[in-house]
Structure formats: structure tokens, C-alpha cells
Structure 1
Amino acid sequence: MPVQVSHPGVYIHEVAGGSRAIVGVATAITAFVGRALRGPLDEPVTISSFGEFERIFGGLWRLSGLGYAVRDYFLNGGGTALVVRVDVDAKRAEINDRGLSLLAAGPGAWGNKLRVEVTHPPVEEAREVAEAQGEGVTPDALFHLVVTDTATTFREEFLNVTASGGPRQMSLVLRSSQLIRDGDPLPTLVRPPEGAYEFGDSAGGADGDPVTPARYTDGGKEGKKGLYALEKADLFTLLCLPPSAPGGSTDPDLWGAALSYCDFKRAFLIVDPPPGLETAEQVLSWLDGLGLKGPSARNGALYFPRIHRPDPLRGGVVDEFVPCGAVAGVMARTDASRGVWKAPAGIDAGIAGVSGLAVTLTDTEQDKLNPKGVNCLRTFRDAGSVVWGSRTLRGADVFADEYKYVPVRRLALFLEESLFRGSQWVVFEPNDEPLWGQIRTSLGAFMQDLFRQGAFQGASPRDAYFVKCDAETNTQYDMDRGIVNIHVGFAPLKPAEFVVIDIQQKTAGSSA
């Protein structure tokens, strides 16, 4: 808007430069959906370490493979994860004793091991605190709560809370607790008497039944439960569905729904094989039975075989686990060190913490699996167990798909999400050449930065990418409908899947 001048002098007017930087989205935020010992149900919780998972979701649990997969993820280089707890008919432990009504923070038998101690503050201290709180709080309404999880010794203290009214009202204060919530109805006494209170004495908590595929998908995206609780999350880029039991398998009926959802969310699904597969023929037969076909199969990859590692809950006995968490960790580690365009496979893609693989594959066996789009985990001398394949579920040679390789597909998803989020400012701007020029500048700078990092093929930007937004891509008919057409192209890097070395003898003095 022009400066309104009213008197002689100098006027300052700030003019927008037209430059809008696009920031690439994170490439390795892994979502884990499954059963947990405790924690909120159907809520995506962001964690950045296995210690956080232990604190919020109870750590490893023999009735679920979720904790083991999350542990493998962080052990192999994972940085950020989203965890969604699903369960069926789990019950909360509660206290309803001597006027104290409390619930465990979440359902499950873990709540039966909670213990609450109630104490009253000294009279003089209570009088001072009540006066400071105001709002009609009386000294004889204040009490202290100390909550202990006797199974883990985790402890929380809540000082000078009240049953009703005031800034320290118990129903408000306990919202931050990881162990308990205020019950209903509220305590009928002014305050509960001093003493110890045991959860489960009134109504014990109970773990739920094994989770069915319907529990993951019931209600669809609108219901925001199970798998679709991730609708509440801002972004996830990888998806893992660990089985209900560490040695079990994810229900085959769930993989199709998960793959479609990843296609919708621009995410990538890591598919785990079931136990008992030992030969290439068995793997291919099982994969064909899943029916993961069509364009959406570009958004997923299968890794075989399962991994062996010690189980802390069984005294260190070596057991069998799904590889999804470890593979997701390798992807996150590769993204951080090399970029999403680098294949998460090779000698550098070692799997940490494993003692071996469920099946020791040979070159001959991989000859049958690799052309069908099955990524193999292999064990090599000195290198140990590594990821030795990088094809999508659409990577079978017969398809000749342009998204045959995992890094190519994940790079495309990264570009789509980054450009989608970075172009929101365009909406409702005047649709003409000045806007098109700003779009070319903004998107071009983003692509140029990726080119300098080595994300694309080509010796020059002209060979590596293009951004086109002009009168050729935007006709008057499009402009009349309020449409801006932007064409972005890129030349992806394909992994060197096969290395061929020609060796020949030469005689002295002869040329090659």
C-alpha cells in the first residue's frame, strides 16, 4: 500500500522482498502403532528416546512386540517417534476409599501396582498456603498426594491440592500426572484422611485382549482411533505395525489398509514377514497372498528375514523379533548422515544389537527374492548383519516402475510434502506473472539447495531439476477458475544395485 503523505519530509515504507524460503520436512519421523503396557489410548505421543517410551508406555512387555520395535529403532539411530497405543477392553484400576476417588492414568493391569499416600500439611503452613491460594480455600481442605508405581519405583508428588475449588484443585493438577487422574464423583469429605491407599482394592485394572485388525481401522479416518489416530499428528514419514506378541505376526488383513493410509499421508510402510518363513518360495507365496499391488505399493517395502536378539525379559535368552524397528532406525541414521536420497542399505547399513538373523540367506536365495521386490537382510564376515536390499513393493522387475527403489520413492514423498507445506502462502495471492515469478524463485531456491547437497543426478541444475510456472502452464481458463499450475521435475539418483567389474589379462606394451 502506498505511503500516505501529508506534510513535507521523508517517509519510510517497507517493501516485501518477495523471497519465501521453503524448509524441507523431516524425513524420519516413525510412527509405531500397537499394544503397550500402559499409556494413553488412541493418542499419538511424540518421544525422542527409549527412556521416554519406558516412562510413558511402560517399556518392554511380553504381550506385545511394540516395545521391542521401538527399542530397536532408537538403538539403530532413530531420532523421533510417534507411538499410538491400541487395546481392546482394557480396564482401569481405581481407588474409591475414605472419600478419595482416583483412576489410573490409563487402562491396564499395571495400575494395580499404584500406591497413594495422603498427608496433611502442618496447621501454620496450611493457613499460609490457603491464604495465598484464595478463592475460598480453607486450611483444612489442603492435603499432599504422593503416588508411587511400586513395579518401577517411579514416583510423583502433588503438594497442597484441594478436592474442590482453588488453583490447586485436584482435577486440574492431576492432568499433568503420568500415573493417575481424578475420579468421579469427587471426594465427599473435606479432604481424605491420612494414610496409604492401594489401587485395585476397589476395582482392579486388567489388560485387554489381543488387538484385531478391526480395532486398528474401526471408524475410519473420521474416528481417529487405532491406525487413524495418526490423523491427530502433524507429520509422520515411516510407519511400523509391530505384532501383538514379540514372536507373533501382524494380521495380514491390516497391511493393505496401512499401505493405503501411507499413500494418503505421503508416508512409507515397513512390512514385516511372519514367523516360520524359511525359503524364498515361502516368502514369495506369502507376499502374493497379501495382495499389496497397484500404485500404492510404491509406498511400502518388505524386509526378510526376522532378527534374533537377546530378550531382557527372559534373562537374555535369544528370541526372534520383527525387523521393522531396526530397519526404520537404519533409515533414520542414513537420512541424518547422507540424506533421504541415499539408499538405506549396504555395508554401512549395519543392524545394531542383533545376534543373528532367523534365516541365513545365500546369494542363490537372494537371486529369487530381489527381482520380486523383497529386501533381504544378510550377514557378512566382519560387517555383521546388514540391510542388503532397497526396493519398494513395486520393485519387481516385471513392473518396470519408476519408483522401483526405496530412496527414489522416499525422496519424491519428501519433495511432495515439503512443497505442499512451503507453498501455502500462494493461496489467495493475485494470480499473474508477479506471483509466478515469486513461485519460481521460492521453489527454485529449494531445489537448488538440494542439488548442491547431491540429491539429484546431473552436472548442472539444468540437468538435475526444473521449476516451471508461467503463461504456458497457466492458461486464462485456469486463471478464471483460480488455479495456479506449477510443474516441478527432478532427476533422482538410482542406487548402484549391481556392480560389474571386468577383469582381463594384458600383455606388456598392449593397450587396454
Structure 2
Amino acid sequence: MPIQPTYPGVYVEEIPSGVRTITGVSTSITAFIGRALRGPVDEAITINSYGDFERIFGGLWLNSTLGYAVRDFYLNGGSQAIIVRLIHSKQGQGQAPDQGQAPDQGQTPDQGQAPGQSQTSDQGQATAKKAQLNVNGLNLEAANEGSWGNALKVRIEYVDINVRDDAESQKLFNITVLDQNTSQLEVFRNVSVLPNHPRRVDKVLLNESYFVRFRDESLPTDRPAAHAQPTLDKKLWDDNDTNTKAEENSGADGDDLDVNDFTGLNKEANKQGLYALNKADLFNILCIPPYKNDGNIDYDSLVDSAAEFCKDRRAFFIIDPPTNWTDKDKAKDGIQNLGAPTSYAAVFFPRIKQPNPLRENQIEEFVPCGAIAGVFARTDVQRGVWKAPAGTEATLTGVPQLSVPLTDPENGELNPLGINCLRTLPAFGRVIWGSRTRKGDDRLTDEWKYIPVRRFALFLEESLYRGTQWAVFEPNDEPLWAQIRLNLGAFMHTLFLQGAFQGRKPEDAYFVKCDKETTIQNDINLGIVNIIVGFAPLKPAEFVILKIQQIAGQIAV
């Protein structure tokens, strides 16, 4: 701050440099949307490993392809994912919040929702249900919908209550919850039914339990009776007479999803379905694994909605091939029915074949979106987002076969249509052998035909958008413009040194312009500062042509 001199002597003042370092955003945070065995509904939950997915969402499940795609993502180099679990609602109507989310699952405090909340239908009835438990007069329910809750058991005990005053007067007790499917235990000690007690049972379960919630509007007046000890010939949880089981078949997984569960009425306004991702600060790649019985999604409507949503969020959509693409001719004919051409999406063909551990490792077909997103993430880390995620380095881990073997001539028919092929190459195995967006059809002659060009532009846009927030409300004159040129120029030059642009010199690779030519007086009067950033993107070498020529031998003279 400025110094006010009051005495004769030397004063030291630090002068701000005006440098505000712009940090590049992540490029490979991948969002997955679909059904899961368990977990919060219509919430964007951040996970950092497949172990997190198993713990929160239950891992692989025969009734959903979501878990397989997430597994492939981490097998192929993915690091961070956002999971949105959906359940089917009749008529796809809007939904209102209810209790049901376990704590510490990737939700940020500014999302306007208390910890421990999920979604159940208000206008359309949810077909999935939460398991119910009546624990000696204490009415509980599973933390979220699904048949997983039918495996819950609960015990009430009075032992080891550590309090200063009388336990009966404070109505204290202990709750132990067992999930028989995973053998996980939760223990909550010294909880009470008194409304003003600091360990009030409903609040403790809401904020600390992954398994159960209190479902009555009001607390009981008396603490629940303690369960009896098991007989000598049985273990604690094997004696069903000495603990409370969930009511039989009270929890249900619900019906298969339909397009209305993603983009139905009021979904966007309520941040549900596809639009639950608006609760996430940032995601870069979107995957929607098949959710219909025939192994597809609603290509005629959901693809366009998802691509448009990605455009708004500066993200990229990976489209899986339909099940009826069983050869290259069906792929050529079907590409016209895969939504409108857009540079914010790409389609990959064919599907992959893998052993299914839930069916004794029988070989089955799966969609490739998770594995491809993992390769995107791996390439971004190793080479940069400007490198095409394709070629001999883009190997697919955990993919022993492809559903349709393709030859070079067949690949040559599909590539000009913007269909990216997965190939089997000798010595390299299964690789991604194409890097075009849906605007990559040669007949469109679009400047955004290549995936790395589009994704690099999205990276620049998001990084510069976040890195220039400081300029809002600053005095709109040359000192501000100079700072903008300095900070943006430093960021772009760093990328130039990393090899992100064409050109041997900075002036050939990029420019940043912000001065009185871009911002005229009328713009200043309107409160606008205009910044123009240009860059020369790297284009992938799709076709490497070797020209070989014979030369005549040396002729003696």
C-alpha cells in the first residue's frame, strides 16, 4: 500500500508488477452419466479412482454399462471422473430434493445443497425405491434408491455409552449398521432422540452415514429398545432375531432409463439428468454409456442435446457406435442418423470385446467410450492436449478384441466420413486410428475437423476465461490493456515453448491484441474491453506419404 511519509529517512515500498499468472485448466476430467447399483441420484460426484466408484456407486452391475465404461477409463490412463447416477421416473418429470447422499463425495459447499441430499420425484413417480427399516420404533431408510438397501441390518445397543450424566435421561444409545453385500460396518455412538441434543440421531445419520437416513418428520419421544444378544450358537449378525433387517424387497432398482431421464421436463431448470453436470465446476469429456435394453442410447435426440450441452460447457462428447453397426457398410449408412454434425463430438467404431467378470469372464461386446476417454487423458499428460489421441501410442489397455476387424481400404472409406476407427495393428495391438470430429467429413471442409484442434481451442478458451476474471471492473484504459497483453502473452508463450503451436517464431504461432484498435471509445462507454487472441494450431499428420525413386548409378566419364 502507498506509504505516507511522516519522518525524515528512507522508506521502502513494494510496487505490484501487474503480473497475474494464468494457469491452464485440466483437459481430461470425464463425466459419466447413467444407472448405477447405488449412490446419490442427480448429483455430480467427483471420484479419483475406480476404487472410489466401487465404494460410492457399487462397482460393476449387470443391469448397467456405466461401471464397465468407468473401469475402462481408469485402465487406460484416466485420473479424475465425475459420476451422475440417474434413476427412471415415470413421465420423466421434474424432481425435488430429499435426503439420501452420503458425506464427502465430491460436492462443493457452494452448490446450494446441504450435505446428504439426493433426489426423488415430485411430479413423476420414481420407479426405484429406498429400502425401509423399522428399528425398534426408529424408522430408517436406505441412503439412496436401489435393491442394495435390502441387505442392510441395524442394531441398537446401550453398551459403552460414554457420558457424564445419566444415559437414560439423555436418551442415549448406539447404532450399528451392516451392509451384508460389502461387509462394511458403520457405528454411531452416543446418539439421542432429544430434539436439542448435539448428537441428535437424524442429524448424525444425515451427515455421517453412507447407508441409512431417518425418514420420520419428527423424532420419537423415547429412545429405541436395545436389541438382544445372539444365542451362543450364532454370531452377532447371523441371528436375525437379535437385529433388524430391511423390510423384504422394499428397496428396488427401478426400470431402465429413457431419454426423458436425461433431458425431460424441468431437468435443466432443476439441474437434474444431463444437467446435473451444471453442479460441477469443470468437466472436459462427456460419456453416456448405453442405457437401453438393446445396448443403445436415443441417438435421434440425446446426441444432439448432449453435444449442445458440451458446446455450452466447453466440453467434448464421445459417441459410441450403435449395436447395428456390425460392418463398415452399416456404419457408412448409419452416420447420417447420429445427430447433426458438430465439432464438439466424435464417433468411434467398432465396439470392443472384453471378458465380463460378472459372467465368469465370458467375452462380450462393450462400448469404447470409457477406454477412449482414458486414452485422451493419457495423451494429454504425456504429450499435451494439442496431440491427436490416436496412432501407435494410443493403445487400448484391457481390450483383447474388437467387434469388427477393419482393413486399410475399409478404414479408408470410413475416415473421410468422420468415423474414427479402432484397429488391430501387428505388434501394437488395439489402437485408436482416427482423430476427426463429427465435422470431419471431407465434404464439409470445416476448420474444426480434427479432435486435437477443437479440444485445444476449448482448453485455451476455458483457461483464458478463468484467467481474466480479475479484469472485470478495472479502469478500462491503456494500463489495463497492457496488463492483459502481458498476462495472456506470457501464457501463450509458455504454450509455444511446449510446442503447442505451428511456427518457428512466437509471432508466427500466436498473437494477443488488446488496445485502442480493438476497444474503441464506444466500447469503453459501454463498459466493454475487447481482447483478440489468435493461434496457429497443429494439425495431425493423417497421411504419411513416402516417395521412393530409383537413381541411375554413377557413370564414369
TM class by shorter chain equals over 0.9
- Any conservation in 1 of the 2:258–2:291 contact (CA below 8 Å)? no
- Pairing 1:203-282 to 2, within 5 Å after superposition: 204-218=250-264, 219-244=266-291, 248-252=295-299, 253-282=301-330
- Residue identity in the other structure for 2:209: S
1:190 paired residue among 222, 227, 243: 222
Change over 3 Å in CA distance of 1:109–1:203 after alignment to 2: closer
How far has the Cα of 1:198 moved from its partner? 3.7
How far has the Cα of 1:386 moved from its partner? 0.6
Change over 3 Å in CA distance of 1:227–1:197 after alignment to 2: farther
1:102 paired residue among 140, 143, 167: 140
* Inter-partner Cα distance in structure 2 for 1:392 and 1:198: 55
* Other-structure match for 1:166: 197
* Inter-partner Cα distance in structure 1 for 2:43 and 2:159: 37
User: Secondary structure of the equivalent of 1:215?
Assistant: helix
* Other-structure match for 1:142: 172
Provide Cα deviations, 1:414-471, integer angstroms capped at 9, x if missing partner: 0000000000001000000110000000000000111111111111111110001111
* Other-structure match for 2:109: none
- Any conservation in 2 of the 1:94–1:199 contact (CA below 8 Å)? no
User: Secondary structure of the equivalent of 1:173?
Assistant: helix
How far has the Cα of 1:374 moved from its partner? 0.4
* Inter-partner Cα distance in structure 1 for 2:346 and 2:358: 30
- Residue identity in the other structure for 2:220: T
How far has the Cα of 1:245 moved from its partner? 5.7
- Pairing 1:471-486 to 2, within 5 Å after superposition: 471-486=516-531
* Residue 393 (structure 2) pairs with residue 348 (structure 1): yes
2:456 paired residue among 382, 407, 411: 411
* Other-structure match for 2:155: 117
* Other-structure match for 2:39: 39
* Inter-partner Cα distance in structure 2 for 1:202 and 1:501: 70
- Residue identity in the other structure for 2:308: S
2:415 paired residue among 341, 346, 370: 370
Provide Cα deviations, 1:216-269, integer angstroms capped at 9, x if missing partner: 012243220000000100000000001126971112121110000001110000
- Any conservation in 2 of the 1:93–1:199 contact (CA below 8 Å)? no
Structure 1: runs of 5+ lacking an equivalent: 132-136
How far has the Cα of 1:146 moved from its partner? 1.6
* Inter-partner Cα distance in structure 1 for 2:396 and 2:248: 47
* Other-structure match for 1:21: 21
Change over 3 Å in CA distance of 1:179–1:245 after alignment to 2: farther
RMSD between aligned residues: 1.8
* Other-structure match for 2:433: 388
Q: What is the TM-score normalised by the length of structure 1?
A: 0.94
Q: What is the TM-score normalised by the length of structure 2?
A: 0.86
User: Secondary structure of the equivalent of 2:317?
Assistant: strand
Higher share of residues assigned helix: 1
Q: Which moved more, 1:258-267 or 1:7-16?
A: 7-16
Provide Cα deviations, 1:332-377, integer angstroms capped at 9, x if missing partner: 0000111000100011101011120010011111111100000000
* Other-structure match for 1:134: none
* Inter-partner Cα distance in structure 2 for 1:50 and 1:468: 44
How far has the Cα of 1:3 moved from its partner? 3.1
- Any conservation in 2 of the 1:126–1:139 contact (CA below 8 Å)? no
How far has the Cα of 1:202 moved from its partner? 7.3
Change over 3 Å in CA distance of 1:246–1:45 after alignment to 2: farther
How far has the Cα of 1:186 moved from its partner? 4.4
* Inter-partner Cα distance in structure 1 for 2:339 and 2:317: 15
Q: Which moved more, 1:5-14 or 1:305-314?
A: 5-14
* Other-structure match for 2:336: 288
How many residue pairs are counted as aligned between the two chains?
Answer: 499
- Residue identity in the other structure for 1:233: A
User: Secondary structure of the equivalent of 2:343?
Assistant: helix
* Inter-partner Cα distance in structure 1 for 2:434 and 2:186: 47
- Any conservation in 1 of the 2:153–2:246 contact (CA below 8 Å)? no
Structure 2: runs of 5+ lacking an equivalent: 89-126, 228-241
Provide Cα deviations, 1:4-27, integer angstroms capped at 9, x if missing partner: 344444444432210000000000
* Other-structure match for 2:124: none
Q: Percent identity?
A: 52
How far has the Cα of 1:491 moved from its partner? 0.6
